[in-house]
Amino acid sequence: MSNDFSKDTAPVVSSHSWKSARILLVLAVVVAVALAGLSIFEFRSITQKKQEIASLQQEKVAFMEEQTKLNNYISEVTATVNDVGNKLKEVREKQTTISSFITKAETDKSLKAQILSDISAIENQLQQDRQNIEDLKERMKKSAFRIKALENMVANLQKEIEDNQVTIAQLRTTIEEKNLVIKNTQESLNVSQENLKKTSTRLHETEQTLDETRNTAYYVIGTAKDLEAKNIIDQFGIFRKRSALSSEFERNSFTKIDIRKMTDFSIDCRAKDTKVVPPRSESSYTIEEIGGGKSVLRIVNSEQFWTVPYLAIVVK
């Protein structure tokens, strides 16, 4: 009887063990597939984030290169304009000397020779100034930058030089052919001096324009949603949103400032909910909370901070 019981129960134990093993095998396969899918998802997510970071780095480098090119362009134009301005100042001084001697030159041949020599020097200087301005205009045409006010100043400077050349040529003709007709000569000198005064004024305006360009920046504050709706920033990324300036933003959407005067920006948002676009060097600014859910963005290194003249402060 004991043997019969053992024979009946043995198949039952074997069947139960086989079912348990099959269940464990299925669970193992499911877990393995889930882990594999999670690994693929994480890999794709990390790859995408690396691509986003690389894209931001490229944008930062492009902005900095563009700013460097602009600064170099302004420096080059400024150097030429200042040089021509200094030379025209020398021309003005020589014309003043001629004016003081003009009434004595009619009877003093040696003084007449000196005046003619001075006129030759002025002619040579004006010709060199004209060539320098023409060379500058050619370089400006080839440049990717266009500063309308600066181009107008250079064009006016060229016209003044040409007008002075005509005046000096007439003065030479008057002295050589009409024996120093004092009245006409004096009028020519007065016109020339007036032209030079205008040139000096325009040079001063040019310097002011250049100075303003160097120290002008633009900023805007708003939520990511509002700034994106106004086509000021673009957002990308699936799990973590990142922002960059839109390639088609309008300058009129920003507020123009003088970076020498404005270094603090009031923000109706906590510091941790604030970010700047494009990214700046973290050592160039601070964001401090002042209570009541408000903060202040304070620039501590203007040169580093304004490598890009456009700033979007994104708040929540």
Kindly state whether residues 188 and 66 are assigned to the same domain. Answer: yes
Would you say residue 44 lies in a domain? no
Q: Which of 152, 181, 214 is the last residue of a domain?
A: 214
What whole-number percentage of the chain has pLDDT above 90?
A: 22
Q: Which of 214, 237, 272 is the last residue of a domain?
A: 214
Q: Helices 2-101 and 109-142 meet at what angle, rounded to 10?
A: 160
Tens digit of pLDDT for each residue in 123-135? 888 888 888 888 8
Strand 242-245 relative to strand 233-236: parallel, antiparallel, unpaired?
antiparallel
Q: DSSP per residue over 69-131, as a string?
A: HHHHHHHHHHHHHHHHHHHHHHHHHHHHHHHHHTTTTTT-HHHHHHHHHHHHHHHHHHHHHHH
Task: Give how many domains the chain has, as a whole number.
Answer: 2
Task: Please give the average per-residue pLDDT across 34-55, as a whole number.
Answer: 74
Tens digit of pLDDT for each residue in 188-206? 777 777 887 887 788 778 7
Question: How does residue 179 score in pLDDT terms, banded at 50, 70 and 90?
Answer: low
Would you say residue 22 lies in a domain? no
Kindly state whether residues 200 and 82 are assigned to the same domain. Answer: yes
Kindly state whether residues 93 and 223 are assigned to the same domain. Answer: no
Kindly state whether residues 71 and 186 are assigned to the same domain. Answer: yes
Would you say residue 49 lies in a domain? no
**How far apart (Å, rounded) are the C-alpha atoms in residues 246 and 224?**
12
Kindly state whether residues 106 and 159 are assigned to the same domain. Answer: yes
Would you say residue 83 lies in a domain? yes
H-type helices in the chain, by residue range?
A: 2-101, 109-142, 148-177, 182-214, 224-229, 302-305
What whole-number percentage of the chain has pLDDT above 70?
A: 74
**How far apart (Å, rounded) are the C-alpha atoms in residues 25 and 103?**
118
Kindly state whether residues 202 and 264 are assigned to the same domain. Answer: no
Where does residue 280 fall: left (phi above 0), alpha (psi -120 to 50 degrees), or beta otherwise?
beta
Q: pTM (2 decimals)? A: 0.42
What is the domain extent for residue 238?
216-315
pLDDT attached to residue 144: 63
If you average pLDDT over each of 68-77, 101-110, 145-154, 261-270, which comes out highest? 261-270
Would you say residue 304 lies in a domain? yes
Label residues 179-190 b or e (16+ Cβ within 10 Å = b). Answer: ebeeeebeebbe
Cα-based distances in Å from 24 to 8, 12, 28, 35: 26, 19, 6, 16
Task: Please give the average per-residue pLDDT across 162-191, as a whole number.
Answer: 70
Residues written for the chain: 316
